[in-house]
Amino acid sequence: MFPGLEKCPRHVLVCEKSSFEDEKSQIETHVSKHYFNHKVSLVIPEAAILPPKLASVINNFSKYFLVKNLPVYEFLIKDFLESVVLQGGLYALSYKTRVDQDNTVALLPSRQMILSVDKDHYEQLGLEGKPSQYSGKRPMRYVVTIDLTDKSMAPGGKRYQRVFSSLKDRVPLTCDFLLARHNSGAGGDAELQSLLSRYQWKDYKPVVSMHTLRDLSCPSLQSKDLRGDQSSCDPHSFLEWLGAVSTGVSCDNSATSFLSTYDCPEPNVPISQVLHCAVSGLVLPEDIYSLLQELRRYFEEPKFTSWLSLTVHGFMDSPISWGDREHGFHKGGENFYNLVLFKNQDYWLHMGTGANDKCPP
């Protein structure tokens, strides 16, 4: 065996069980703080088509823009900053930048700007930052966090002028950006259109794909047991099965190829049909939460299944994971969470990251 295959890279998986009806549930916070999502997947046992209400929610997901060669300082121009950025709900992520090699930028709806830059650009910028937690003893990468709500960042102030000058004159960082805005009704549409008009851009809607799997073995899940006992498989085995279903890997342990076989974890039950629905693009947390609320209502009418699954994948090269926690790529850039919803309004939450990231919240 190739030596590199003998060692599985370390990962972090946090699991918790709660109920949507529990006042202490933090599910809305977990969803809303995972800002940059590129794929949402649904797995619904004993279903062949998406119910109309769920389809309606998905079809109404927010559009987003791909803006080419956009200078970072554009976000700080007075009119745009005051009319769009400081109103909240704006998401911007540098596109096709590698978080472990390139300069990457994120603008959060919480009105923070995150710059993850190499040592040379950091020194040229002259802005206060901190070494990346993945740099080792001799930092070669730095993270600069700019709180745009701070009084010192008000247009005209000394710190504002310093940051603006650094990004416009000293180091004119320019990237392709994915850009989306949730609260478009808060004003600032004219300023957003003005910015877009100065650059090459295109708008997109998240892409929806669906397929139905026939005669599939599904894990038996009991809401009372998250860790796995004789009546329910453990989280790692369940997530592995979800991955196999999502990527079209056969779960029947067929011996047609001896290179690799896989079967559904025990205990399991045969299911005649399983619906898999995937939504890809820049998917906003607010839209995911609306989908989650509709999924909760899925069980209001009698269903053959007692559970369904929602998986959300973050961008591998986002400089952050949850909130403003630094995200590192390491080997795969893992950055996701999964929810298993049960008929009785209980849920399981799995939050996973790769070797570099801190433990999810």
What is the reported pLDDT for 302? 85
Model confidence band, residue 188 (pLDDT cutoffs 50, 70, 90) = confident
Question: According to DSSP H, which parts of 206-307 are helical?
Answer: 235-247, 285-296
Q: By three-state DSSP, how is residue 104 classified?
A: strand
Q: Are residues 219 and 119 in the same domain?
A: no
Question: According to DSSP H, which parts of the chain are helical?
Answer: 27-32, 52-59, 78-83, 119-125, 158-165, 189-197, 235-247, 285-296
| Residue 361 is assigned to a structural domain of this protein | no
Strand order in 141-147's β-sheet? 130-131, 141-147, 112-118, 104-107, 90-94, 174-181, 64-71, 201-204
Q: Are residues 188 and 230 in the same domain?
A: no
| Residue 216 is assigned to a structural domain of this protein | yes
Model confidence band, residue 56 (pLDDT cutoffs 50, 70, 90) = very high
**Domain-ending residue, one of 204, 233, 268:** 204
| Residue 224 is assigned to a structural domain of this protein | yes
What is the reported pLDDT for 256? 57
257 pLDDT more than 70: no
What's the number of domains the chain is made of? 2
Q: Are residues 40 and 126 in the same domain?
A: no
| Residue 29 is assigned to a structural domain of this protein | yes
CB distance 210 to 255 below 8 Å: no
What is the reported pLDDT for 186? 64
Q: Are residues 171 and 268 in the same domain?
A: no
Region 185-208 average pLDDT? 91
Q: Are residues 219 and 128 in the same domain?
A: no
361 pLDDT more than 90: no
| Residue 315 is assigned to a structural domain of this protein | yes
Percent helix, strand and coil across the chain, each rounded to 5? 25, 35, 40
CB distance 116 to 324 below 8 Å: no
Region 127-132 average pLDDT? 94
Q: Are residues 143 and 56 in the same domain?
A: no
| Residue 359 is assigned to a structural domain of this protein | no
Distances (CA, A) of 201 to 13, 67, 173, 177: 37, 4, 18, 9
Can you give the residue range of the structural domain that contains 301?
Answer: 3-61+206-353
**Domain-ending residue, one of 164, 179, 204:** 204
CB distance 226 to 239 below 8 Å: no
CB distance 192 to 63 below 8 Å: no
Model confidence band, residue 18 (pLDDT cutoffs 50, 70, 90) = very high
Q: For the chain, give the mean pLDDT.
A: 89
For tokens 């039950």, what's the residue?
Answer: 269
What is the reported pLDDT for 311? 97
Region 33-53 average pLDDT? 95
Q: Are residues 232 and 321 in the same domain?
A: yes
What is the reported pLDDT for 254? 57
Q: Are residues 150 and 23 in the same domain?
A: no
Region 325-354 average pLDDT? 91
Q: Are residues 73 and 53 in the same domain?
A: no
**Domain-ending residue, one of 189, 204, 219:** 204
Q: Are residues 222 and 200 in the same domain?
A: no
Q: Are residues 21 and 100 in the same domain?
A: no
Model confidence band, residue 5 (pLDDT cutoffs 50, 70, 90) = very low
What is the reported pLDDT for 203? 97
Q: Are residues 285 and 225 in the same domain?
A: yes
Q: Which helix (H) or strand (E) holds 67?
A: strand 64-71
Let me know if 116 is exposed, middle or buried by CB neighbors in 10 A (0-12, 13-18, 19+).
buried
| Residue 40 is assigned to a structural domain of this protein | yes
What is the reported pLDDT for 93? 98
| Residue 7 is assigned to a structural domain of this protein | yes
333 pLDDT more than 90: no
